[in-house]
Amino acid sequence: MTKLSVNINKIATLRNARGGNIPNVLNAAINCEQYGADGITVHPRPDGRHIRYSDVFDIRPVIKTEFNIEGYPSNSFIDLVIAVKPDQVTLVPDAHDAITSNAGWDTLKNKSFLSDVVAEFKSHGIRTSLFVDTEIINIENAYYTGTDRIELYTEPYAVGFPKDAAGTIVPFIKAAEAARSAGLGVNAGHDLNLENLAYLRKNIPWLEEVSIGHALISDAIYLGLENTIQMYKRQLAD
C-alpha cells in the first residue's frame, strides 16, 4: 500500500496569519499520526511564512511515523536536516521566494551539486528523494546523483486529469517505470486530491509514498481531519 504523508504547512500558514499558537502545529502533527497518516511532511522556507525551523525541531521527537523534510538545499537547510535527522529529505529546486514548488530539478545541469548534497545526507543515514518532472533524462540522471528516490511533480497530471485522465497519466507511468528500472523508489506529490489520487495509484501501483498538503487540509475544513485522512488512505488501498 502506498504511504500517505500529510504536509502540515497549511496548518502553520493559518497559525502565522494571526500570530500566537492557534492552530497548534505540533498537535496537528500528532493528530495526523493518530488519525492514520503514515508520515508527516514539512517544508520550511527561508522567510518562515509557514513551517518554521523551530517547528521542525519540536515535531521530530514526538512523532513515531515517518518524518519528511522538503526544501531547497541551502546551507541553513542542510544544517537543519542534519541536526534533526528526519527519515527522509526531499530536495526541491525552489527559489527562496517561491509560493509553492512548481518545477523539478534539472538533474544533468545540477548533477555535481546534487551528488554532493545527497552524499552528505546519506552519510548521516537520511534517505534522499529528488523532486523531478517526467523528462526521462532527469530520471536517468537522478540515479547518478546517488539519491534513493525521486518524487514526481504531479501538478501537470492534476491539471490535465479532469479532461483527459488516460492521456495525462502516460508520461508519469513512463517516468515511474524508468525510475523503477534504475532502482529508484518513486514518490509523488503536488495538487493530488480525492478526485485524482486513486487513478494515479492504480496506474503506478509501486508508488512508495504520496505527500499531500493543500488539498487534504482544505478538505479537512469541511470533512474533519480524521475523516479526511481516512478518505485519502482509502484512495491508496490495494
For residue range 146-183, list pLDDT tens digits in order: 999 999 999 999 999 999 999 999 999 999 999 999 99
Residue 238 predicted with pLDDT over 80: no
Which CB contacts under 8 angstroms, 24+ apart, belong to 135-140? 135/104, 135/175, 136/174, 136/175, 136/178, 137/107, 137/108, 138/104, 138/105, 138/106, 138/107, 138/108, 139/107, 139/175, 139/178, 139/179, 139/182, 139/184, 140/178, 140/182
The proportion of the chain whose per-residue pLDDT surpasses 90, expressed as a percent, equals 92
- 130-144 pLDDT, tens digit each: 999 999 999 999 999
Confidence tier at 48 by pLDDT (50, 70, 90): confident
Residues involved in catalysis: 43, 70, 190
Residue 96: the pLDDT is 56
pLDDT for 100 = 53
Task: Please report the pLDDT score of residue 168 as a whole number.
Answer: 97
Please give the average per-residue pLDDT across 12-39, as a whole number. Answer: 96
Domains identified in the chain and CATH numbers = 3-235 (3.20.20.70)
